[in-house]
Structure 1
Amino acid sequence: MRRVWSVRRLRMPQAEAGDQYSVWVGLVYIFNLIVGTGALTLPAAFARAGWGLSTISLVFLAFMSFMNATYVIETMACANAVFKWKRLQFIKRNSIEDHDADEDASMSHHSHGDLEDPLVCGDSIPSRYYSLDKRIELGEMANLFLNKMGRTMFYCTLCVYLYGDLSIYSAAVAKSIMDVVCSTVPSNVTNATDWDNLPCFNATGTALSYTRFDCYRVALLTFFAATGPFVFFNVQKTKYLQFFTTGMRWLAFAIMISMAIHLLIGHGPQGRPPAFDFTGMPTLFGACVYSFMCHHSLPGLISPIRGKNRLGFHLALDYALISIFYLLLAYTGAFAFKNLNDLYTLNFVPTDNENIFLEIVEYFLALFPVFTLSTSFPIIAITLRNNLQSLFLDTTQLESYNFVLRKLVFPIITVVPPILLTYFLEDISVLIKFTGSYAGTGIQYLMPTFLVISARRHCTNLLGLGVVNRYKSPFSHISWAIFVLLWSFVCVVLVTVNIFEKKF
């Protein structure tokens, strides 16, 4: 039977209609992913580096993060184009083999006209190849566009960062719950090891003889029991949880900003940060880089979005909104408080307040990390699971593997290492420094840049110059990529200086 194939029939598998969501829901997901506990370290870093230097640095780093987010989107579109082209060639070969010998010449010419014309150089045409329909994780992009050494470096960096993130998030949530549930630590106790051995409750008796570390472990296991099951599903299944915690985030930010403004109006500025203090730059850099991280999970959040035509514009709005929130939080906190804790919510610790409303507000702010990280944890866990599958399995034939391997083994190896690490080790400050600095620089700056450079070259050779990528980054000139690589080197130097300053 005669079959004629055209590019219009070539469609990559898309998410089911029920699994898709609007662009605004996708932006909520991205907002939740970016705005985590990293935001709570900004006021202290802001005050140390000075309000002028901090403002310039925060806006600049937001721009750098956005630029590399557009690189991830462009690379994902290139990967979709490659998969479509390979499928097209497979269809064409099968079509030619099925034709009769007498029709072979004419049909070959006809097929060549239908399938290959868009691939040759010439006038630019709208591309049906470039799309964001198929979710292609960063690991799959690395397999497509990087050489063996590049792939090895990518997976090592990504796994270190994501496993570190999951460990940091779970420990932060468990410690926040412990601090709220247990009695206040006496002021004469300064050693963190002594904190763990203190009784959780200021009471005697066997029933209340649990230590703070026991409470930490119970909170940790409860957190994994509540959020761990999400790793067995897709990110769309966390939709209502995302909306709930988005409301909690906005409310928490509004309360912290309002309380700081109230203190400024009632008592005047208590903190007097300088305009410029370059000695605080390394700390500020680390806080800002961690506060704008989302690149590792972008593919999973973007592919289910309906109507991606103005995705870059909407993403820029998301970054602008997040930057405004960060600046408001940092400015009000830096000037309202004379002494700022590294974690801003600790400036609102629950006290024996006679005003019940203020006491409720203080408890709510103390639990803010629980609300923020409880939604970021499933997204990052799902991202790690998908990339581990890309590393060990052929994702183009994922359904051919047995159910246990696909649905049970990889989710388990995703969540078990963070559980074991944080169950026995509460203080993971070294892991925070390494994860948020070196691995964070690699994921946010280096990997998107190397991927997009390789993807552009690969697609140009494969499809030709005449095919237009409508998701191409506005920062497509090679000078932007060189600038990112130079900036990455500066970042590594700043982070190294910061670590050695604190050590010595």
Structure 2
Amino acid sequence: MPGGRISSLPVDTVSYSNLVGFIFIFNLIVGTGALTLPGVFSKAGWCLSLVVIILLAIISYITVTFVIESMAGANAIKNWQSLQVLRHRRSSNEDEDNERFFNAAASETTPLTIQNMEFHYYQLTHKFELGEMATIFFNDFGRILFYLCFIIYLYGDLSIYSAVVAKSLRDVICEHEHSNTSDITNWMQYLGNFEGNETNERACWQDHTISRLIMYRIILIGFTLIFGPLAVLSIQKTKYLQILTALFRCLAFALMICIALKMLVMDGARGRPVAINFYGIPSLFGACVYSFMCHHSLPSLLEPLRNKSVVAKILSYDYIVICTFYIVLAMTGIFAFKHVEDLYTLNFLPYQVGYNSFLSTFFVVIDYFLSLFPVFTLSTSFPLIAITLKNNLQTLFLDMSRYDSYSIFIRILFPLLAILPPFCVTYFTENLSTLVAFTGSYAGVGIQYVIPVFLVYFSRKTCCELLGSGIINHFQSPFQSNAWLALVLTWSILSVFLVTINLFT
């Protein structure tokens, strides 16, 4: 999820090579957030944006290594508990059949060979989601805070997805005037003081009275009515749908970069972005945090990896490639286009870019593909995120062991609680910069920075108490010192404080 995103692995996971793992992680991180980067780069300035995105990529990688270490710690606790049970069983006076059964279970479920007393505690063989690790390492109060943060993030994800789909379809369907916006209007838009009311109140078609805002809301209602009810079900994304979506994503981003480069070569730089604009920090910070989000889905990616000893190296390569990719996408966009939309694909509407006549048909098809690309990919992810949100709401508020006994009202209530709040938010606003800034700067910071810091801290503390300090965790983060934990936590608090000041002033 990418990107607010859930794990894109198929349910029936099998082991895969390092290269396939690299591709899966790349596809997970590169999501919808990347489509907002050119817009926030143009607002915050190219120099400031360059520094911030590199800094946040580094901090995000640090906290990813914290998640890996925490997952290995959770495996160690599980393996230690299994060892205690097996030793107890072997020492008890059971009959021969029971002893044979437990010996077989030991050889199948753990890497334990009690005869030679070898046991590797720290592994990544068992998948522990963030919620499970929070249950192991946090108290009840910490677990509730974790779920609240996770739920708020998923609400933000659904709001962004709804707005992106409705806005993309609206801008493809409606006519556009070929008039240049004044420099003053552009500057007001950059500062976030102009809500675009005149644009929204303009008629969708020249000969009809339906405004663009009404068309946006009609599409939003239709999208919610079609995909919202799927939250009641329990469905999973198939492997083939995942591969198709990944291919669409890579093709779309490659086309956007190539078209922007072509415009720069043929027409020169039409965009004149400033170097630094501190008023753009909230949306820049939120979009960058959102664009590097993979922490909540990382355990599902690590479990099937065949060679887990190099997982930190694979992730470092992914972050270097993805950060470079983001910079190229954003930099080409802000200099190729005079005005960059909040959703970058809207800069590739067929009437936004002029082409030579003999290539016009080909490029119009490409532009329609790019314009509708968010609709194709996000429509498949929306029900899955809604189901994930519904399940987390039920886990937080219900006793899931008694779920089968709950009434039909309760079974319908939680899907509605997952769908209606994002619909209400996006019904009254289509401002993607605000949605991304809030989701990334608050809930995103919690999941990407704060939660991994506390997870790895309590993981180290718990494992040291149970296993002692003599057993080495081979998956430990390279950033072992507690000073790194304090640094990330301090950065998180300072960032949220500065973003809050900028948002409300």
Among 12, 20, 31, the residue aligned to 2:14: 20
TM-score normalised per structure 2: 0.78
Alignment of 1:86-485 (within 5 A): 86-98=81-93, 128-184=120-176, 211-224=215-228, 232-234=234-236, 237-351=237-351, 355-374=360-379, 376-377=381-382, 380-381=385-386, 383-384=388-389, 387=392, 391=396, 415-424=415-424, 425-426=426-427, 427=429, 429=431, 432-485=436-489
> Which secondary structure does the structure 2 equivalent of 1:469 belong to?
coil
> Which secondary structure does the structure 2 equivalent of 1:495 belong to?
helix
Deviation (angstroms), 1:165: 1.2
Alpha-carbon distance in structure 1 between the residues aligned to 2:205 and 2:419: 25
Alpha-carbon distance in structure 1 between the residues aligned to 2:310 and 2:378: 29
Relative to structure 1, the CA distance from residue 490 to residue 472 in structure 2 (aligned partners, 3 Å threshold; closer, same or farther) is same
Q: 1:474-494: CA deviations, max 9, x gaps?
A: 112211111101110121122
> Which secondary structure does the structure 1 equivalent of 2:296 belong to?
helix
Deviation (angstroms), 1:92: 2.4
Relative to structure 1, the CA distance from residue 432 to residue 148 in structure 2 (aligned partners, 3 Å threshold; closer, same or farther) is same
> Which secondary structure does the structure 1 equivalent of 2:325 belong to?
helix
* Counterpart contact for 1:283–1:498, Cα < 8 Å: no
Deviation (angstroms), 1:196: 7.5
> Which secondary structure does the structure 2 equivalent of 1:40 belong to?
helix
Q: 1:63-91: CA deviations, max 9, x gaps?
A: 11111111112111111221222222223
* Counterpart contact for 1:143–1:151, Cα < 8 Å: yes
Alpha-carbon distance in structure 2 between the residues aligned to 1:64 and 1:249: 25
TM-score normalised per structure 1: 0.78
Q: 1:96-149: CA deviations, max 9, x gaps?
A: 23259xxxxxxxxxx9x976997xxxxxxx962222222222111111111232
Instruction: Name which of structure 1's ranges 484-493 and 465-474 shifts more when overlaid on structure 2.
Output: 465-474
Identity rate, percent: 46
Partner amino acid, structure 2, of 1:478: N
* Counterpart contact for 1:28–1:242, Cα < 8 Å: no
Deviation (angstroms), 1:211: 4.7
Among 61, 64, 84, the residue aligned to 1:66: 61
* Counterpart contact for 1:282–1:498, Cα < 8 Å: yes
Deviation (angstroms), 1:184: 4.3
* Counterpart contact for 1:178–1:215, Cα < 8 Å: yes
Alpha-carbon distance in structure 2 between the residues aligned to 1:285 and 1:222: 33
Partner amino acid, structure 2, of 1:30: I
Relative to structure 1, the CA distance from residue 403 to residue 177 in structure 2 (aligned partners, 3 Å threshold; closer, same or farther) is farther
Among 476, 486, 496, the residue aligned to 2:500: 496
Over the residues paired in the alignment, what is the CA RMSD in angstroms? 3.7
* Counterpart contact for 2:387–2:415, Cα < 8 Å: no
Deviation (angstroms), 1:301: 3.0
* Counterpart contact for 2:175–2:204, Cα < 8 Å: yes
Relative to structure 1, the CA distance from residue 59 to residue 193 in structure 2 (aligned partners, 3 Å threshold; closer, same or farther) is closer
Deviation (angstroms), 1:157: 0.9
Deviation (angstroms), 1:410: 10
Consecutive unaligned residues in structure 1, runs of 5 or more: 1-14, 101-110, 119-125
Alpha-carbon distance in structure 1 between the residues aligned to 2:413 and 2:464: 38
Partner amino acid, structure 2, of 1:332: T
Relative to structure 1, the CA distance from residue 472 to residue 158 in structure 2 (aligned partners, 3 Å threshold; closer, same or farther) is same
Q: 1:32-63: CA deviations, max 9, x gaps?
A: 33222221221232233333332222111111
* Counterpart contact for 2:340–2:347, Cα < 8 Å: yes
Deviation (angstroms), 1:94: 3.0
Q: 1:369-400: CA deviations, max 9, x gaps?
A: 22443455466456546655664689xxx9x7
Deviation (angstroms), 1:161: 1.0
Partner amino acid, structure 2, of 1:452: V
Relative to structure 1, the CA distance from residue 404 to residue 311 in structure 2 (aligned partners, 3 Å threshold; closer, same or farther) is farther
Partner amino acid, structure 1, of 2:143: R
Deviation (angstroms), 1:163: 2.4
Count of aligned residue pairs for this structure pair = 455
* Counterpart contact for 1:178–1:219, Cα < 8 Å: no
* Counterpart contact for 2:174–2:204, Cα < 8 Å: yes
Relative to structure 1, the CA distance from residue 57 to residue 379 in structure 2 (aligned partners, 3 Å threshold; closer, same or farther) is farther
> Which secondary structure does the structure 1 equivalent of 2:340 belong to?
coil
* Counterpart contact for 2:162–2:220, Cα < 8 Å: no
> Which secondary structure does the structure 2 equivalent of 1:301 belong to?
helix
* Counterpart contact for 2:25–2:301, Cα < 8 Å: yes
Relative to structure 1, the CA distance from residue 375 to residue 466 in structure 2 (aligned partners, 3 Å threshold; closer, same or farther) is farther
Alpha-carbon distance in structure 2 between the residues aligned to 1:420 and 1:16: 28
* Counterpart contact for 1:168–1:432, Cα < 8 Å: yes
> Which secondary structure does the structure 2 equivalent of 1:168 belong to?
helix
Alpha-carbon distance in structure 2 between the residues aligned to 1:410 and 1:83: 34
Alpha-carbon distance in structure 1 between the residues aligned to 2:60 and 2:276: 23
Alpha-carbon distance in structure 1 between the residues aligned to 2:409 and 2:296: 21
Deviation (angstroms), 1:327: 0.8
Partner amino acid, structure 2, of 1:360: V
* Counterpart contact for 2:15–2:305, Cα < 8 Å: yes
Partner amino acid, structure 2, of 1:93: H
Partner of 2:78: 83
Alpha-carbon distance in structure 1 between the residues aligned to 2:394 and 2:79: 21
* Counterpart contact for 2:36–2:343, Cα < 8 Å: yes
Consecutive unaligned residues in structure 2, runs of 5 or more: 1-8, 96-105, 107-111, 182-193
Alpha-carbon distance in structure 1 between the residues aligned to 2:205 and 2:405: 44
Partner of 1:45: 40
Alpha-carbon distance in structure 2 between the residues aligned to 1:68 and 1:410: 37
Alpha-carbon distance in structure 2 between the residues aligned to 1:471 and 1:29: 20
Instruction: Name which of structure 1's ranges 475-484 and 44-53 shifts more when overlaid on structure 2.
Output: 44-53
> Which secondary structure does the structure 2 equivalent of 1:295 belong to?
coil
Alpha-carbon distance in structure 1 between the residues aligned to 2:94 and 2:318: 52
Q: 1:301-345: CA deviations, max 9, x gaps?
A: 332333322111112222122111101111111221222222222
